[in-house]
Amino acid sequence: MISTASPQIELRHLHRVFDHTHAVNDVSFEVYAGEVFGYIGPNGAGKTTSMRILATLDEPTAGDAFVDGFSVVDDPDRVRRRLGFMPDYFGTYQNVNVVEYLDFFARAYGLAGRERLRAIDQVMEFTALNTMTYKPIDGLSKGMKQRLCLGRTMIHDPSVLILDEPAAGLDPRARIELREMIERLAAAGKAILISSHILTELAEIADRVAIIEQGQLLAVGSVKEISNGVQVRNAVRVRALRDGERLRNWLAAREGIFDLKLDGDLAIFNHAGDAESEAALLRAIVEAGFPVVEFGAQHKTLEDVFLHVTEGRVQ
Amino acid sequence: MTLDATALENAERAGDAAAHPLRARAEAIWSAIDRFLVYAGDWLNPILVKETRQALKSSQFTITFVLMLVACWIATIGVVAYVGPRIFYSAEGGTLLVWYYAILALPLMVVVPLSAFRSLTAEREDNTYDLLSITALKPRQIIAGKLGSSITQMAVYFSAITPCLAFTYLLRGVDLPTIAVLLLYTFFWSLGLSILGILLATLTPQRFVQVIILVAFVAALLLMFYLSIIMGYSAVNLGRAAIFGVDSAFWTATTAMATAYFTFFALAFFASAALITFTSENRSTPLRVCMIVQQAAFVGWMAYAWIHDSYAAGVVAGTMTFAGIYWFVMGTLLTAERPGISQRVRRRLPQSFAGRMFFSWFNPGPASGYMFVIANISSLAVLCAVGAAISSVWSSGSGVGPHAEDQYYMLVVGWGYLVGYLGLALIVVGGLRRIATVTMLASVLINFLLVLAGFGIPYAVKSMSTRLRDVDYSFIQITDPFSSLYHVAYGGVASDSDVIAIVVPGIALCILLLNMPRVIGELRVVREAAPARVIRDEAELHPPPESLPQNPWEEAGEERAKLVES
């Protein structure tokens, strides 16, 4: 359930310059409670830099970012109490087992006594690490380490989670489990900002996405909104029982049809428009007397939208 | 665990308890101790808890500890075999103590400080530092945790050597106060090196610089190890007589050293914490308070030495020299601060007129740092001038150092050089900051380079000139603070000193005036109110206490109101 009361995360004209590189250039967006917000872009686009600024690990050159209304520049301590950051590296200690690791971070976040023990129990249960309580961290698999890191991120029950490439290097099962955990966290009302290169998975869980390239924000909104906004063409297949050639000529004469090909009785083309216009097209084909036996529109994925928005500038 | 499983386990436990009452009691006691330890641990620094757990499992700690025990056994057997039957009638405790001390000194002087250094650098290398810095732990807690871990390690090493020290006492030839003082010195020495290690670890995140620092630090630690053995040997040989001698020199020196130690320790502690503090936080004021305290302690001790030495003028000259060097070094750091005061710091700026007048110099900022140094060195100069005046009247004049009247010149010229060079560096760095990013290290280097240029260029010119080569002092050396001050203090003709005493402070005042817009700019920053969100959060975190009844009638009235409500 996405709350629209006040944003949990807010970036206002954020800039970050490293020597001569403008890593983040005037980036602004908002994330609300209960929302999973995907942050996508090629390597070096400025995702991690913006996330590190939000996590109070770096300072913006200009602009500001807010977590639950607190400035990351002026009130980093208040931000830290409300924020859990999972970077794209593990950050584990040697000679420490799972429960000791969580215990340390629980203490570091100021949890004491029963509250601390309860928080550790809850996190272990949530991340299904109960069976590995006393296992040394060095001996954990990558998926288990990732769970542990997620557990560490939420040990102090933050209202905002920032997850930088949480699914990187995980096997399919671990990825599915991670996705489920993220969905549960969002359902619990947490605002989640997540970056990932696995766009198909991100599209499934993200309520909205922001596409960033070379430090600049190219698009913000739901995948559908962005697709509509950038006029992404959907691949459409139409098979008529006969009159394939006539169908091709009929389609070629219409507007909004691109890259038309005929393979026997099957016409394949790209169509610019939403589902409504596809329905209208089907109706028009039938009314024109073509005996249609197959009509299928393949909508563009987040990957297609991403490639279209970044216009092949992706390195 | 489900409820059924818990019930089953409890039932099994109850059955076991009935069958083995003693075991059940032991388990109950252990469980109580465990619970107590869990809650007692809440009061400890989280880093201390984590690092103690890590250390107890680490091979480095086990190997060092075992090696230390083995070395102690070998030393014991070796010395006992060497002494032979004399052990029954000769006092050989001192010989053995020196060996034990050398064994103890290695972990304390090398291993513990090095572990403190590595502990913080490893956090960066293992990518755990970021995770640590975004927790609720404050930078001071992180530094205190690292220090606490060092103290724990030291305690373990001390406990390992304790039986050996008891053995040396039984062998005679060494007394308990000597052993106690030696161990206390070693403890604080090791702790001081540990905070130095932590400070060095916080200086830079750059790997190659850290490697250079590590190599230099290890070399310094080995030197400290060598010096500590000399100290141990001397302490054993001097023994009780030195500690409880007829004159109070030992305790006076110890107290003076303790003052210097604790003030520098505090400075290193706050500096380490400042270096890992988020940039918008006020990182400067605690350091400036430390400097003030250190200066007050220094003045106190120098006053004691001055009175004790029959108002010798040399003590005043020594005070001036040390203070000049100290404030130049501190000034290079303070003027290297980043300009601009963050919104966060502005919320806590002094508000009243008196507060702004007296405490604005404690605000972060290079210009306020410059004025802070000037205020301190000026007050010290006035104190020293009074001291020099008193010395000229009361001192016997037999002491070393310049004459009291020459010291006035030294004070004025020294003040001028300090104000001039720091101010010049402030202008240069301020100009460079308009076109590029100037780091703190670069700013400090610019300060030292300016002084070096002021000394080196005239020296080179004088060396190359056939006319000036053999002259003791020439006016082209007026930019050289060392030659000029020496000339004013010892070798000068009175007229030379007059010229230097006019030109140097005159230029310094001009430079000070040039820096005034910067100073005024920083002083004009006033307190700003915290955002409403912060005020609301603060009220939630620290709600005001419930109002208490002001008189018995009010309380009775409230009770009556409650009764009526019920």
Does the distance separating the beta carbons of A76 and B278 come in below 8 Å?
A: yes
Q: Hey, of A16, A51, A61, A107, which one would you mutate to test binding to chain B, going by the most B CBs within 10 A of its CB?
A: A107
Q: Which is more confident, B469 or B200?
A: B200
Asked if residue B447 lies in contact with residue B419, where contact means CB atoms within 8 angstroms, the answer is no
Residue B57 with chain A: CB contacts under 8 Å: 95
Q: Angle at CA B322, nearest 5°, toward B318 and B323?
A: 115
- Mean pLDDT in residue range B199-208: 88
Q: Using CB atoms, pick whichever of B57, B134, B343 lies closest to residue A85.
A: B134
Cβ within 8 Å of residue B187, ≥6 positions away: B108, B154, B158
Task: Report the residue of chain A nearest B48, measured CA to CA.
Answer: A104
d(CA B166, CA B184): 16
Query: What interhelical angle do B21-40 and B3-19 show, nearest 10?
Result: 130
Residue B3 reports pLDDT greater than 50: no
Backbone φ and ψ for A298, nearest 5 degrees, come out as -100, 110
Q: Do B130 and A87 touch (CB under 8 A)?
A: yes
Does A4 score more than 70 pLDDT?
Answer: no
Nearest CA in chain A to B128: A91
Nearest residue, CB atoms, A59 vs list B127, B130, B279: B279
Instruction: Please tell me the predicted confidence (pLDDT) of residue B4.
Output: 46
Residues A88 and A34: their CA atoms lie apart, in Å, by 23
Check whether B490 has a pLDDT greater than 90. no
ipTM, interface predicted TM-score of the complex: 0.80
- Rounded CA-CA distance B373/B419 in Å is 8
Q: Where are the beta strands (DSSP E) in chain A?
A: 9-18, 21-31, 36-40, 62-67, 70-71, 83-86, 160-164, 191-195, 208-213, 216-221, 233-240, 257-263, 266-272, 292-298
Is residue A237 a contact partner of residue A216, using CB atoms and an 8 Å limit? Answer: no
Chain B: residue whose CA lies nearest to A101: B50
> Which residues in chain A are closer than 8 Å to B340, comparing Cβ atoms?
none
Q: Which residue of B has its CA nearest to A109?
A: B136
For residue B241, what pLDDT is reported? 59
Task: Put residue A256 in one of left, alpha, beta given phi > 0 → left and psi -120 to 50 → alpha.
Answer: left
Which of A56, A92, A116 lies closest to B278 in CB terms? A56
Of A20-34, A108-122, A212-226, B122-136, the poorest mean pLDDT is in: A212-226
> pLDDT at position B1, please?
40
Grade residue B195 by pLDDT with cuts at 50, 70 and 90: very high
Chain A residues touching B38 at Cβ < 8 A: 113, 117
* Cβ pair A234, A227 in contact under 8 A: no
User: Residue B134 and residue A55: Cβ atoms within 8 Å?
Assistant: yes
* DSSP track, A27-77: EEEEE-TT-EEEEE--TTSSHHHHHHHHTTSS--SEEEEEETTEETTT-HH
- pTM score: 0.83
Please state the φ and ψ torsions of residue A40, each to the nearest 5 degrees. Answer: -125, 150
Please tell me the least confidently modeled range out of B9-18, B51-60, B271-280. Answer: B9-18
Long-range pairs of B395-398 with CB within 8 A, sequence gap ≥ 24 = B395/B310, B395/B311, B395/B312, B395/B313, B396/B310, B397/B313
Task: Test A105 with B131 for CB contact under 8 angstroms.
Answer: yes
The nearest alpha carbon in chain A to B127 belongs to A91
Distance in Å, alpha carbon of B64 to nearest chain A alpha carbon: 17
At residue B556, the pLDDT reads: 57
Cα distances (Å, whole numbers) of residue B559 to A102, B83, B564: 48, 85, 9
> CB-based burial of residue B70 (10 Å sphere; 0-12 exposed, 13-18 middle, 19+ buried)?
exposed
- Choose the closest CB to B130 out of A57, A83, A100: A57
Residue B282 has pLDDT above 90, yes or no: no
Q: Does residue B249 sit in helix, strand or coil?
A: helix
pLDDT of residue A229: 65
Q: Residue B552 above 70 pLDDT?
A: no
Q: What is the pLDDT of residues B284-336, one digit of tens each?
A: 999 999 999 999 999 999 999 988 888 888 888 889 899 999 999 999 999 99
Q: What is the pLDDT of residue A194?
A: 93
Cβ separation of B343 and A71 shorter than 8 Å? yes
Nearest to A108 among B38, B132, B534 (CB): B132
* pLDDT-wise least confident of A59-63, A216-220, B235-239, B377-381: B235-239
Of the candidates A89, A105, A112, the beta carbon closest to that of B42 is on A112
Res A87: pLDDT = 92
Question: Residue B5 — very low, low, confident or very high, per pLDDT cuts 50/70/90?
Answer: very low
- Closest CB from A56, A78, A85 relative to B537: A78
Looking at the complex, report in whole angstroms how far the Cα of residue A125 sits from the nearest Cα belonging to chain B.
10
**pLDDT for the residue numbered B415:** 95
Q: Which residues of A touch B51 (CB under 8 A)?
A: none
Residues of chain B neighbouring A152 (CB-CB closer than 8 A): 131
Q: Rg of chain B over CA atoms, in angstroms?
A: 31
- Residues of B whose CB is below 8 A from A73: 280, 342-344
Query: Which residues of chain A make contact with B39, given a CB cutoff of 8 A?
Result: 113
- Band of residue B430 on the pLDDT scale cut at 50, 70, 90: very high
Contacts of A93 in chain B (CB under 8 A): 50, 54, 126, 128
Q: Tell me what pLDDT residue B428 has.
A: 95
**pLDDT greater than 80 at residue B523:** yes
Distance (Å, rounded) from C-alpha B61 to C-alpha B425? Answer: 47
Residues of B in contact with A117 (CB under 8 A): 38
**pLDDT, position B243:** 62
Q: Is B481 or B541 the better-scoring residue by pLDDT?
A: B481
pLDDT band at B22 (very low <50, low <70, confident <90, very high): confident
Indicate the pLDDT class of residue B554, thresholds 50, 70 and 90.
low
Residue of B1, B50, B146 to mutate when probing chain A, most A C-beta within 10 A: B50
Minimal CA separation from B17 to chain A, in Å: 26
Instruction: Kindly tell me the burial class for residue B143, based on how many C-beta atoms sit within 10 Å of its own C-beta (0-12, 13-18, 19 or more).
Output: buried
**Neighboring chain B residues of A55 at a CB cutoff of 8 Å:** 130, 134
Q: How big is the CA angle at B552 (ends B551 and B557), to the nearest 5 degrees?
A: 105
Q: Which residues in B250-273 are b (16+ Cβ under 10 Å) and which e?
A: eeeebebeebeeebebbbbbbbbb
Best of A8, A56, A73, A75 to disrupt the B interface by mutation (most B CBs within 10 Å)? A75
How many inter-chain contacts (A to B, CB under 8 Å) are there? Answer: 98
Q: Name every chain B residue with its beta carbon within 8 A of the beta carbon of A89.
A: 127
If one counts every other C-beta atom within 10 angstroms of the C-beta of residue B554, the result is 12
Residue A307 clears pLDDT 50, i.e. is over it? yes
**Average pLDDT in chain B:** 86
Is A83's CB within 8 Å of B50's CB? no
- Quote the minimal CA–CA distance from A104 to chain B in Å: 6
Contact A56 B128 (CB under 8 A): no
Banded pLDDT at A231 (limits 50, 70, 90): low
The pLDDT of residue B2: 40
Confidence class for position B6, pLDDT limits 50, 70, 90 = very low
| Mean pLDDT value across residues B513-537 | 88
